[in-house]
Copies of this chain bind each other. A is one copy, B any other.
Amino acid sequence: MNNKKFNSFIEKLGEPRIPSPIVNGKFEKDTSRILWDISLKERKIKDKEDIISLEIAGPREMIYFDPKKVKAAIVTCGGLCPGINDVIRAIVLTLYYTYGVRNIVGVKYGLQGFIPKYGHEFVELSPDVVSGIHQLGGTVLGTSRGPQNIEEVVDCLEMTNIDMLFIIGGDGTLKAGEEIHQEIKRRDLKISIIGIPKTIDNDIALIARSFGFDTAVEKAAEVLRCAHVEATGAPNGIGLVKVMGRESGFIACNAALAHKDTNVVLIPEVEFDLYGPKGLFRYLKQRILDRSHAVIVVAEGAGQHFFKKRKKERDASGNIKLENIGIYLKEKIEQYFKRIRMPVNIKYFEPSYIIRSIPANSNDSIYCGFLGTNAVHAAMAGKTGMLVGEWNNVYIHLPFSSVVNKRKKVDINGKLWMSVLESTGQPSFKN
C-alpha cells in the first residue's frame, strides 16, 4: 500500500472562497481524517503523515463554485446496478436545494453521450424530473460500455461549459475518469470530476461496500431458493446458479449465507478441480447418494483456469470476456453422471439480468443518497479527480488513482469464506 498516495490531500481546482449557502450546517474540515487500519498495534506516530488515513467527506464551509453560475453534468457508465437512479436523484436534489444550482444536465448512454457522432442530446435534470426515479430499476440516463476518445469527451465538456462532472461507473469508468481528469489538467480547465464507484460485484479496492450489492445479494438468494426447490423436487436434482462476480465471489458468498440451503460455493478466489479424489464431482456424487439433491452457486469468474488454453476475447468495456463457467459446469456435470450411470436432473439458472435491473432496496437506497450528496459537497468545494466511498461507516474521499486497476477480493482466510465453508460444509476441491 502506497502510503503517500493515501495521505496526499485530494486535488483541488483552487482555493474555495465562497461561503457555503448551507445554514446551521456542521461542516467538515479538509484535515478531518480517519485511520485506514483500525487494529490496535504498537506504532510510533511522529507525524500524521506516517499513518495511512483518509479524508472525510461532507460539506465544506467555503466552496469553490458559485452555485448561481455553475453547470453540472451527470453520466452513468457500464452495466446496470440497483441504485443508480438513487444516486442521480441525490446529486440533482442536493445541487438544487442545498446549493441552489439550476443548471444540471444528464448525459445519455454513458460516455457515448459526449461524442458527437452518436447524436445523443443532453437532458435537463431538475427535481421534477428525478423525484420518482428511485422507484425504477436501471438508469434513466441510459448507459453504455466501452471507452471513448478522451479528447473528444473533454472537448465536449469545454464546449458545453460544464463545470463539474459526476461520473457513475465501475473500474473501467474510473480509469476513464482519471484520464479525463489528466486531460482537464493538461488543458488547465477548471472542471471538477467526481466519481461514484459502481460495481455490483462489490470488488472495488478500498471501498468497503459498493451500492446495489445488498440488493443484489437479496435477489440472488431468492434465486438460490428456487434452485433448492427445483433440486429437491426431482430425483437426484441439482440446482446450478451462476451469479455475478468476475473477479470476486462476494455475491456468491453472501447469497449462500442468506439462503442457507446452498451446498457448494465456487468463487474466483479459490481454484477447484472437477475430477480426482478431492474433485467437485466425487463430492457431488456422494452428496447425491446421501441426500438426493444439491445446490451449487458459481460466480461467473470462477474456474477460469479451465479455459486457459482458449484465446481470450474482450468486451466493449475492454474486460476480458469470460468463458461461461455456468454452461461449462452444467455440461461437465451431465457428462460425469452419464458416465457413472447415475441419472441426475440438473436445472441451470443465469439470473444476472433480473438481479441487476431491480430497484435498490431501502438499505442501498439510503446509502446511494449519502453517496450522491457527498459527491456534490466535494465538487462544490472544488475537489476533483476523486471518488466518494465509505470506510468503517465514514464517508470518505479517495483519489481515482488509488483504486483503479485494483480489486477487492474475498480473503480466503477471512471470516466471510470461513462462514461459507461452515454453512455449506464443503471441503476444498483441490487434489
Interface on A for B, CB 8 Å cutoff?
25-26, 32-35, 38-40, 42-43, 45, 48, 51, 53, 58, 80, 89, 93-94, 97-98, 108-109, 112, 118, 120, 131, 134-139, 142-144, 208, 214, 217-218, 221-223, 225-227, 229-230, 232-235, 254-255, 257-258, 260, 347, 349-351, 353-354, 357-358, 361-363, 365-366, 369-370, 373, 392-395, 413-415, 418-419, 422-423, 425
Contacts and interface: CB of A to CB of B under 8 A. Distances in A.
Contacts of A38: 34-35, 38, 392, 394
A138 B134 CA distance: 19
B144 A235 contact: yes
Quick one: which of A45, A349, A422 has the most chain B CB within 10 A? Answer: A422
30 contacts: A26-B418, A33-B39, A35-B38, A38-B38, A38-B392, A40-B51, A40-B53, A80-B233, A109-B234, A120-B235, A136-B229, A138-B229, A139-B233, A142-B233, A144-B235, A214-B363, A217-B362, A218-B363, A222-B354, A226-B354, A230-B353, A254-B362, A254-B366, A258-B362, A258-B363, A258-B365, A258-B366, A351-B354, A354-B354, A370-B419
A138 B392 contact: no
- Closest 6 pairs between A and B when the two form their complex, measured CB to CB: A138-B229, A258-B362, A229-B357, A218-B362, A138-B233, A137-B229
B26 A414 contact: yes
Nearest to A25: B418
A353 to B, nearest CB: 5
A135 B221 CA distance: 12
B369 A423 contact: yes
Nearest to A213: B363
Nearest to A261: B131
A230 B357 contact: yes
A415 B370 contact: yes
Taken together, the copies of this chain in the complex come to 4
A29 to B, nearest CB: 12
B48 A42 contact: yes
Contact of A217 (B94, B229, B363): B363
Contacts of A260: 89, 131, 134, 369
Contacts of A394: 38
A198 to B, nearest CB: 13
Contacts of A108: 235
A139 B229 CA distance: 8
Contacts of A415: 58, 370, 395
Nearest to A365: B258
A354 B221 CA distance: 12
A347 B353 contact: yes
A226 B353 contact: yes
A218 B353 contact: no
A349 B305 CA distance: 28
Contact of A393 (B208, B230, B418): B208
Contact of A97 (B51, B217, B425): B425
B135 A135 contact: yes
A232 B108 CA distance: 11
Contact of A40 (B33, B40, B258, B422): B33
A354 B143 contact: no
A223 B392 contact: no
A221 to B, nearest CB: 5
A63 to B, nearest CB: 16
A118 B235 contact: yes
Nearest to A94: B422
Contact of A80 (B208, B230, B258): B230
A38 B392 CA distance: 9
Given A35-B40, A131-B260, A218-B363, 19 more contacts: A26-B418, A33-B39, A35-B35, A80-B233, A135-B135, A138-B230, A138-B232, A143-B234, A217-B363, A218-B362, A223-B354, A229-B358, A230-B357, A257-B366, A258-B362, A260-B369, A370-B415, A370-B419, A373-B422
A302 to B, nearest CB: 20
